[in-house]
Structure 1
Amino acid sequence: MWMWPSIDEDYLKKFGIECPETLHTELEGKSPIECAKYFQEKFNINESEEAMMDAWNEMAAYNYEHKVFLKPGIESFLKKLKENGIKIGIGSSNFKELVVSALKNNGVLEYIDSIHVSSEVAAGKPAPDIYKLTAEDLGVKPGECLVFEDIVQGLLAGKRAGMKTVAVFDECSSEKQELNKEMCDYYIFDATSIIY
C-alpha cells in the first residue's frame, strides 16, 4: 500500500533514525506484530509492540478511511461473484480495523464473507497461514480458492496454501511485476480485464 513507506519513515524520524531504502521490501507481508518485533531488533526501539502498532494504526487510519480506493472493476466483480454464490474472503497483513474501514468506505463490505488478518495466525505472508484460515472460515478447500495479490509475499503465501494465484498490477510494486508474473497462475492489470 502506497502509504506505508512514508508511515515507516515518519515513525522512525520520531527516534532520530533514518529509514533505510530497503525497509518496505523487508517488511512486505509481515504481520503488524512481526513488523514491531523487527523494528525493536533492527532499530533498538524501546517501545512495546502494542505502542508501535497503535501508532502505526493511528497514522494510517485517516488514509484508509478517506484515500484508499478500489482498483478499477473491483466493485462490479465482487457483485458478480456474490450474485453467483461464490464466497469471498480477505486474508490481509494489515490491521483489521483498517481493512474494514476501507471496504466500508468504498461500499463493498457487504460482499465480503470473511476477513482475517495475519495477527490471528502464527506467521504472516509468505507463510500460508492467513489463506488457510480464511479458506477454513469460508468452508472451502484450498484447491478451490483463487488468491488475488499484488505483492510477491502474498503470491508465495497463496501458492504455499495450495491455491491458484492471480497477480494484480499495483503501482507501488511496479518494479516487481515481472517477478509477480513468473510466480502466479494468472496476471491481470485490473479487474476490468476479468471475463465473467
Structure 2
Amino acid sequence: MRPARFAAAVLSLAFCLRSTGTQALTWPAGFRLLKLPAGLAEDARSELDACLVQNQRKLEMQFSFTSLRGGRGRLRRLPGPDVYPACDRLMRAAEVSFGLEADRALVQVMVRQYWPGQGLKLHIDSKEMFEEPVLAVVLRAGGAGDGLVLQHMKEPDQKAGPVAECTGLAMCFQGPARYDWGHQVPAVSERRLSITWRWFRPRYLDRFEN
C-alpha cells in the first residue's frame, strides 16, 4: 500500500488511555482513528444485516483462507466487495480518508458479528500473508466498556484500550501497531458488528494462483 495525499476532512485523533497500572499510555505508533460519516456505516450495516443470520459469526469477501495441517492452507475465491456496494463505498471512503491507494485485486475482507459473551482472541494478522496496513470500521458498537484492546506482543504489560467505539469509527494499523502490537476484542456485552480488510502479499497469493 502506498500513502497518498491525506484528505482535508481527515480528523487526527490523539488519545491517552490508562494501562493496567497507573501510567498513561498513548496509542501505539502507527495506530490511527477517524470518524467516517454515520450514513456510510449505517448503509453498510443494513446491507450486511440483510445477509447475515443470527448465529453467523463471519462473512468473507474476495478470498477465504483456511489453515490446514502441516503448514498448508486452502484459498477459495468468493464474491468481492463490489457485490456489496454499500460496504465497498465505506471501504473506499476509509482508504481515501487515511490517505491510501488500494488495489482491489488483492484485498481480503472479513465481517465479524459478535453476540454477548463472544470476542476475538489476541492476535497479529499474518505477517507472511498480508501487507500493511490493516483497516477496520465499526458498524455497530457493543455495550458501554466494550471495544478493541491493543497489547504489545513482547511486553504484555503494555496495553491500550478499550477503544471508545461508535458507528463509523475507522481504525488503521501500520508500522509498530501492525507488526509489534496485537489486538483483541474482549467478550462483548451487546451485539457488535465490524468490517476488517487487508491486502495479500502478491508473492503469497501466487502460491495458490499458480
Report if TM-score (shorter chain) is over 0.5: no
| Higher-strand-fraction structure | 2
| Higher-helix-fraction structure | 1
Give the structure-2-normalised TM-score: 0.22
